Amino acid sequence: MTLTVAQLSESELLARIFPRLHAGSSMLLGPGDDSAIIAAADGRTVISIDTQVQDKDFRLLWPNGGTSSGFDVGWKAAAQNLSDINAMGAVATAMVVSLTLPGTTPVGWVEDFADGLSAAIVGLGAPQCSVAGGDLSGGSELVVTVAVTGSLDGLAPVLRSGAQAGDQIAVCGNMGFAAAGWALHESSILPSTHSPALATAAALFSRPEPPLSAGPVAARAGATAMMDISDGLLRDATRLAAASGVTLDLDGAVLRGVARALEDCAVVLDADPLTWVLTGGEDHGLLSTFPEGASLPDGFIRIGSVLSLDVAGLAVTIDGQNFKGASDGAVGWDHFAV
């Protein structure tokens, strides 16, 4: 019979979790006291928080029979929080985790979750970040909340509001893969039949790989504005444009080139790969602007130019043209299709 969390006391469950939590160099006092203590040498602390609710933000069982394991949910929770620190140009220092668990949750799921959290921290290149502690509670549904702190290490933060007319627009990281993986999970295509391309998309949906060293590198290279792409390029570009009071004009040919990497998946799923690139969230790539003439750091590709808002009167354009529905992410692609 599977051991469930209802069969253990809180301290018994914590005793199984603590040894699995990654301890990075920033941790001065780890879990077990009333609070943990994290070094903050910079004098400023970057902080962010994110909550995922079962069957709203993630599923354990997907329509195509695929599953998300505790490891996957832990990895994803860590990845998206680390990405928000990265997007400021900062380096993560610590995480605290709150888990609300139905009593029927297998203890193995919770252990797997802790392993996924720690594996993402190390695997994605943030080994200095510690899981410093957290909280356990019972409830009718599984809820995962992660708060993360970071250090700017002497750099100025890169905000969404700094883009200027004349800047280059650039992205770094995967684009559209998580959206392809999500479409696959929602399809009737059994995991056992996945081609390598489909398997890659499914894996990147379950365990996204944000480019965690790229944020501080972009900050040092003079990025004028930055955010991570968590809700889709068009939606997030609209937010950055609004914060900066500019128009972001995207280059359709470059984006079609980016979408080519998803063509194999798109054929099988009868989908448009460009729509995944433009509207797919959860890859947690970086959207950044750099001064014209600045050489882009490794891994960044130029996808457009920042225009004065007066030119187009729109937050985001593609090849200088409007397209339907960009503000709500439901893109009518007819205008751009060639």
Q: Which residues are annotated as a binding site for ATP?
A: 134-135, 160, 230
Whether 336 and 204 have beta carbons less than 8 Å apart is answered as no
Rounded to the nearest whole angstrom, what is the least distance from the CB of residue 338 to Mg ion in the complex? Answer: 32
State the minimum distance, in angstroms, from the CB of residue 231 to Mg ion. 8
Tokens of 141: 């549904």
Structure tokens at 174: 């995967």
What's the min distance (Å) between Cβ of 84 and Mg ion?
4
Stretch that binds Mg ion, among 38-46, 57-65, 151-159, 220-228 (CB under 5 A): 220-228
Cβ 50 to Mg ion shortest distance, Å: 9
Restricting to residues 228-267, name those near Mg ion by CB under 5 A. Answer: 228, 230
Task: Write the DSSP symbol of residue 193.
Answer: G
Instruction: Tokens for 248, please give them.
Output: 């972001």
Strand pairing report for 130-138 and 91-101? parallel
Kindly indicate which of the ranges 53-61, 84-92, 180-188, 246-254 contains the residues binding Mg ion, using the contact rule CB under 5 A: 84-92
| Separation between Cα atoms, residue 238 and residue 318, nearest integer Å | 12
Mark the segment that binds Mg ion (CB under 5 A) among 56-64, 83-91, 200-208, 308-316.
Answer: 83-91
* Nearest CA among 28, 22, 36, 149 for reference residue 75: 22
In residues, how long is the chain? 338
Please say which residue, 231 or 272, places its beta carbon nearer to Mg ion.
Answer: 231
According to DSSP, the residues that pair with 274 across neighbouring strands are: none
Number of residues interacting with Mg ion: please give it, by CB under 5 A.
3
If the CB atoms of residues 229 and 312 are measured against Mg ion, the closer one turns out to be 229
Among 5, 78, 84, 85, indicate the residue that binds Mg ion (CB under 5 A): 84
Nearer Cβ to Mg ion (112/228): 228
User: What is the C-alpha to C-alpha distance for residues 64 and 62, in angstroms, rounded to an integer?
Assistant: 5
Show binding-site residues: 34, 48, 50, 57, 84, 134-135, 160, 228, 230-231, 282, 333
- Distance CA(173)–CA(45), nearest Å, equals 25
- Please report, as a single letter, which amino acid is at residue 244: S
The residue to which tokens 């996808």 are assigned: 303
- Which structure tokens are listed for 181? 């993986």
Considering only the stretches 17-25, 82-90, 122-130, 259-267, report the one whose residues sit in contact with Mg ion under the rule CB under 5 A: 82-90
Nearer residue to Mg ion within complex by CB, 21 or 227: 227
List of residues contacting Mg ion (CB under 5 A): 84, 228, 230
